[in-house]
Each structure stands twice: as structure tokens, then as C-alpha cells.
Structure 1
Amino acid sequence: MVARVRTVLADVHPDDLGVCDAHDHLFLRSPKLPGRELDDVPAARSELAAFRATGGASLVQWTPYGMGRRTAELPALSSATGVHVVCATGLHQAAHYEPEFLDAVRGRLAHVFVSELTTGIGGSGVRAGLIKVAGGFHALDAHARWTMAAAAEAHHETGAPIAVHLEHGTGALDVIDLLCDELGVPPHRVILGHLNRSPDGVVQRQAAEAGCYLAFDGPSLAHHATDWRMPDAVKALADAGFGHRLLLGGDTVVSGARSVDGGPGMPYLLRRVRPRLVAALGAELVGHILTRNPGRAFAVDWP
């Protein structure tokens, strides 16, 4: 079998992804973000087109189950803009859901994940291409352990990669201990997000040494240690031999952050972050981080 990346239109060869925003959101709703939802289809189309205009060719949406993915809209958006879109299943922190919603999936969460990865999401015809879960701030609570156990079960059945929201960039080693050591998920199938938000070079190197992918995402969030520290952190990892484990993403999570609404948005990753990284790392390595690495990280021998 040839490993393929599962997009909303079809399974594609990893080399066909092109320049990839490895962590972003076209749609997202949460009770934690009232009034700032990403829920506007024309705005999503314009944002995706703006990303395409800066050289973007593929985008991985990490919005999980129950957070307004607007899955049925994704194939048309991908077709209209010429951008490959990968959709996630999974579950975020408990704070992003009503208690009744969580009660309804108690005991069947792994089944939900597997069904969305293999059969499809509702009646949309779209199949998810990854599982997204989340840790807490320097800890994994009972909810995180439950969702990660379900994600591991779904991974073992499908081979799907597991992408992890690290709260403020913390808890990476706890996630590795649970997912990889206890639950048997191969490290190269784990993608750790937001590591740039806690610029601890020791933890970043330990996570890379474990074999996980490291996502440096969210450069549009100025209150995080992102743009001005990211080049040094990425260069240190690349110099240590881990350039093949690095991913880049924009992580646009609220409406005001979209470029079409006056924020930096998805184009910022390629318009501003890429040149800065090229100056620090060279064009060849940055090209690999934006193209080859996502292909390897998200490609699966789908059953």
C-alpha cells in the first residue's frame, strides 16, 4: 500500500500537498470564544484564496468533533480555491463543550473517531484525515486521558496521526508518556502543537528525540513568544538533526485574526514568517518543512 494524505476531496500522494499550513482553522466555534466564531463561509473562501495567492497549496484544519467544523462546506471550498484541505476528528478540552454533549459520547468516543476517519462525517461524504486531542496546562486531567485513550484506540485501528493541542505549549513530555509509552502510539504518529508558546529548548529537543513531529504554529498571536523566538528555536532543532520533524502552521482561531477581517490570517505564514525562517535556516530546509514534512506527518496506509 502507498501512504496517502486523506483530504476532503480524495486521498492524495504526500508529494502532491505542496506548500502546507500544517495547523489552521477555516471554521471553529466554542463557548470559550463567544462572538469570535469562525463560521462565515464567504470569509473562509476568501481567506483560503488569499492563502493560495501567497503560494499555499494545502491546509490542515485541526477543528475537532463538535466545534463547528462545517464539514459539508469543505469540499466546495477546496475545489473553488485549489487548496487541498485535511479535516480532523477528535475532541478538544472539556471547556469547549457543554456537559450534555460530552455525556452523549461517553463510552463510544473511539467509535466516533474511527467512523469519521473511515466511513465519513455525518452525511457530508468527507472523511477525516487526523485525530485532534488536547492536554492541559502542565498536566493531563481525566478528560485529556479519556480523549487520548480513545485517540490511541482509533489510531491502532486506522493508522491515523494524532495531533495534540498543548496548552500554552506545555505538557509535551506528559503527552509522550501517555500516548507513546502507555498507549503504544508510535512517536512519529504524534504531532505536538504550540511548542513555540513555551520556548523551552530542552523540552523541544526531548520531544524531537522521542520521535514526534513538532508544530510551530500560531505566529499571528503576538502575546505569545512566537515570531521573534521561532527562528532561533527552529534553527536549534534543525542544527541538532531534527529538521525532518518540524511543521509550520498559522492556527487562525478567531474571526478577527483572519486577513480578510483585518488580521494577519493564513497568508501571514508565507508572507512574513517564511522569509524570516529562510534568512535563518536557508530556503532548502524551509521548503522541506513546508512541503515534505507535512506529507510524511499526515500520510497513512489507510485500511
Structure 2
Amino acid sequence: MSGAVRTVLGDVPGAELGVCDAHDHLFFASPRLPGEELNDVAAARAELTAFREQGGGAVVQWTPYGLGRRAADLPVLSRATGVHVVAATGLHQDVHYDDSTLTALRGRAADVFVAELTRGIGTSGVRAGLIKVAGGFHALDAHARWTMSAAAEAHHATGAPIAVHLELGTGALDVLDLLCGESGVPPHRVILGHLNRSPDPVTHRQSAGSGCWLAFDGPSRANHGTDWRMPDAVRDLAEAGFGDRMLLGGDTTTASARSVSGGPGMPYLLRRVAPRLALAAGDDLVRRMLTENPARAFAADWR
């Protein structure tokens, strides 16, 4: 299917996503967050249901290889709740893995990404719909350069979009230099995450000017002092003509942050963040950020 979003239930036209949380997690487990693993299927279903009740139609899970994706559970949850789910392949920062996991992937990371995009994750048969990688704080270390080069190779083989965790929102231009400059990935296939955590209007405009996607994702994490500046950053980009390049996400990464555990969770994106942004930048822009833009950002001409 040309120009399709690869969900855990198969390829669908982007317009079928509806209101999309462009970056979140149903399952996620990292040694960096002991005791806060997202590994409860019932809680994931309740969270998806709560998101659906707020008008949500799709969730893009950025959990990559080796961090507890529970791929086999995703189709069941999608069918049960009526919410489209997109799964990821790729690799996070090296601090999230033990040495043996990374050593086993040396020289074959791109092949693993391609296999998970085209044949399925493990024995689940669930195909990933994007590649997630990560940069460092204001820099790209050797691990980031290796994983991004592998992601670029997998993109060229499959057409898959590449989503990038920017550490505290930094390093956007270095990422674009590597992926789009050195590795030849078309900018419109790159999604930069966490730009709300570094509200630098110059970098935001330069990044948007490349043609990439800018994700403002993480409002469910109340400990970021830059969250209150996100409406101004979004409005600035819209006024500069980049309203068609922005996405919104929740990025719920801990069990205690879920709405079913008393936190803001996925529903907060539609219950509080979207209305707040609409006051600053208008209903039409927020609608595009939640529907039209993700429909294009996550669609690919799959090979």
C-alpha cells in the first residue's frame, strides 16, 4: 500500500489514524527506571481506553528494540480499544542496555531493523512502523552515530520514518547533519522529538526549514520547567509558516505517570495540553498537529 502508516494490525491510510498521540509508550522497561516499568497489559488497555474516551484514535509507541515492547500484546490491545497502534524498531541510548545486547547487534543492527519493519518483531509477526534512535546532550557520541547510520540504512531499504529522541531537546541540527546530510535520508522522513524541552526558536526554525517534523512530546512529565513555554514555541513556528511540520505527543515512560495510576498519562494530551495550545495558537493549528500532520509524518511508501 502506497503512502500507508504501518500499524500493528496492518497498513492503513494516514487519514484513518484520527487524533494521534505521536509519541508515547504502552510498554517500556529500562534499567534506568527501576520499579517504574510499563509492563502491565491491563493498565495499558485502561490507558488506551481513557485516551479513546478523550477522542484519541492512534498512539505511536516509540519503544525500540530490547526495552520491553511486548509486541505480541499490541494487536490485542488495538482491537480491544479501537485505537490504532504503531510499533517501533531501533535502539535507544546505550545507557538503556547491557554490553552483551549491544555487542550482539554490532554489524547487524540495520538488518535487525529491516527484519522488524518487514517481517515482524521476534515471533510476534507484528511489523514495526518506524525506527527510533537517540542523540546525546548537545552532541552525538559514537553509539548515536552508529545507531543513526544503521537507521538510515534501514530507511533506504524500507522507506520507514526515523524518530529521534533528542536529549533534553538538544542536538537537533547535528542529527539532521548526520541523517540527512551524510546519510541521505530525506528530511520529511525524520521526526525530531522533545523539542519542547529546549525552547530555542532559532534552532526550531532552522530544523523546520530543513523539511523535517518537529514533535512537541512530553507534557505528561510535569518536572520539565520548559513546558509552560511550549505554546509560545508552537505559535512562533506557525507564524513562521511551519504549522504543517509539527506533532504532539505525551511520552508516558513510567508506571506512576499513567492516568490509571493517578498521573496525567495519555488522556492529558487531549484533556489539558490541546486546549491550552488552542488558546495560544488556535483550534485549527492544534487540529492539524493532532490529525493531518501525523497522517503524513508516519506514512511511508513501503519497500
Determine if the TM-score, normalized by the shorter chain, exceeds 0.5: yes
State the partner residue of 2:138.
138
State the partner residue of 1:75.
75
Deviation string 1:254-290 (CA, Å, 9 cap, x unpaired) is: 0010000010000000000011111112211211110
State the partner residue of 1:227.
227
Whether contact under 8 Å (1:4, 1:299) holds in the other structure is: yes
Whether contact under 8 Å (1:196, 1:225) holds in the other structure is: no
Q: Secondary structure of 1:30's match? A: coil
Whether contact under 8 Å (1:62, 1:132) holds in the other structure is: yes
Q: 1:191, 1:270 → 2: CA distance?
A: 21
Q: Secondary structure of 1:55's match? A: coil
Q: 1:222, 1:159 → 2: CA distance?
A: 35
Instruction: Count residues with an aligned counterpart.
Output: 303
Find out whether 1:213 has 2:224 as its counterpart.
no
State the partner residue of 1:240.
240
Q: 2:99, 2:272 → 1: CA distance?
A: 40
Please, which runs of 5 or more residues in structure 2 have no aligned partner?
none
State the partner residue of 2:129.
129
Q: 2:289, 2:26 → 1: CA distance?
A: 22
2:9 counterpart letter in structure 1: L
Q: Give the 4+ runs in structure 1 shifted more than 6 A.
A: none
Q: How much has 1:210 moved relative to structure 2?
A: 1.1
Whether contact under 8 Å (1:199, 1:225) holds in the other structure is: no
TM-score by length of structure 2 reads: 0.99
- Name the % identity: 74
1:42 counterpart letter in structure 2: A
Please, which runs of 5 or more residues in structure 1 have no aligned partner?
none
Q: 2:282, 2:69 → 1: CA distance?
A: 36
Whether contact under 8 Å (1:54, 1:270) holds in the other structure is: yes
Q: 2:208, 2:302 → 1: CA distance?
A: 25
Q: Secondary structure of 2:248's match? A: strand
Matches within 5 A, 1:159-178: 159-178=159-178
Q: 1:225, 1:173 → 2: CA distance?
A: 23
Whether contact under 8 Å (2:198, 2:226) holds in the other structure is: no
Find out whether 1:155 has 2:137 as its counterpart.
no
Q: Secondary structure of 2:131's match? A: strand
Q: Secondary structure of 2:244's match? A: helix
Quote the RMSD (CA, aligned, Å): 0.8
